[in-house]
C-alpha cells in the first residue's frame, strides 16, 4: 500500500467507527419518530381529512422527503450527539477530527431509517386490508432522485451542524464556560442554524415540488 494512502485510509476508518457509534445511539429514536410520523399522517389523512389511503401515503412520502425528514433526523441526531461532538473537539486536533464526515454519513443513513419506519407506520395505519400490496404500491411512489436529494440534504445538515457546534464549542470551552451551559447554548444555536439551512435549501437550492394524486 502506498504510504500516502495510509493516513487517508486511517482517517476514513476512524470516521466509519465514529459513524457506527453515532448510528447506534441515534437509530432507535429515529425509528420511533418515523413510526409516529407515519401513523399520525395517515390517521389524520384517512380520518378527519377524509382522504384515501393512497393519497395519505403519497402525502407522507412528500412530507418525509421534501419537508420534515432531513430536519427531524438532524435535530434528533444533534441532541443525542452533542456531548460526543464536544468531547471529540477537546480531545482531537481539528484537522484529524472525523466527526463532521462521520456525521454526514450518519445523517444519510438515518434518513433512510426514518423513511422506512414512516412508511411502515403509515401502511399499518392504513384502512386497506391488503398491507403487503399497500406497501408495494407505496414503495413504487418513492422516486430515487427524491430519495437521494433527501439523503444528501440530511447528510449536509448534520455535517454542518457538527462543524458549527464544534467550532463554537471549542471557543466557549476555552473561555472556561461549563460544558452543560455550552451544550445548552449550542442546542439553541443549532436549531436556529437548522431552520436557516432548511429555508435556504427549499427556496434556493432545491425548491419544493408538490405532486400528489387523490386516486
* Distance spanning both ends of the chain, measured CA to CA: 58
> pLDDT digits over 139-175, tens only?
777 888 888 989 999 999 999 999 898 888 888 888 8
CA distance 165 to 153: 18
- Measured CA angle at 207 (ends 75, 70), to 5 deg: 15
CA distances to 68, 77, 103 from 25, rounded to whole Å, are: 21, 9, 12
45 vs 55: CA distance, rounded Å? 8
Residues 146, 209, 26, 12, CA torsion sign:
positive
For the whole model, what pTM was predicted?
0.84
- How does pLDDT run across 50-62, given as a tens digit for each residue? 677 788 888 888 8
The residue whose grid cell reads 502506498 is 2
Per-residue pLDDT of 42-90, as tens digits, reads 888 877 776 777 888 888 888 888 888 899 999 999 999 888 888 877 6
Q: At 8, list the grid cell.
A: 487517508
Amino acid at each position: 500500500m502506498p504510504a500516502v494512502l495510509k493516513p487517508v485510509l486511517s482517517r476514513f476508518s476512524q470516521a466509519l467507527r465514529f459513524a457506527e457509534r453515532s448510528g447506534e445511539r441515534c437509530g432507535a429514536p429515529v425509528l420511533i419518530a418515523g413510526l409516529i410520523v407515519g401513523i399520525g399522517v395517515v390517521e389524520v389523512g384517512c380520518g378527519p381529512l377524509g382522504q384515501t389511503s393512497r393519497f395519505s401515503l403519497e402525502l407522507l412520502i412528500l412530507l418525509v422527503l421534501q419537508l420534515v425528514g432531513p430536519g427531524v433526523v438532524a435535530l434528533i441526531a444533534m441532541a443525542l450527539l452533542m456531548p460526543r461532538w464536544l468531547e471529540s473537539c477537546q480531545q482531537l486536533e481539528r484537522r484529524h477530527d472525523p466527526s463532521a464526515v462521520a456525521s454526514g454519513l450518519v445523517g444519510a443513513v438515518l434518513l433512510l431509517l426514518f423513511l422506512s419506519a414512516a412508511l411502515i407506520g403509515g401502511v399499518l395505519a392504513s384502512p386497506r386490508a391488503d398491507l403487503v400490496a399497500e406497501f408495494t404500491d407505496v414503495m413504487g411512489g418513492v422516486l430515487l432522485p427524491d430519495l437521494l436529494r433527501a439523503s444528501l440534504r440530511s447528510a449536509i445538515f448534520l455535517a454542518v451542524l457538527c462543524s458549527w457546534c464544534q467550532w463554537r464549542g471549542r471557543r466557549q470551552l476555552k473561555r472556561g464556560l461549563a460544558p452543560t451551559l455550552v451544550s445548552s447554548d449550542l442546542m439553541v444555536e443549532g436549531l436556529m442554524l437548522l431552520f436557516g439551512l432548511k429555508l435556504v435549501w427549499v427556496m434556493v437550492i432545491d425548491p419544493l415540488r408538490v405532486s400528489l394524486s387523490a386516486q
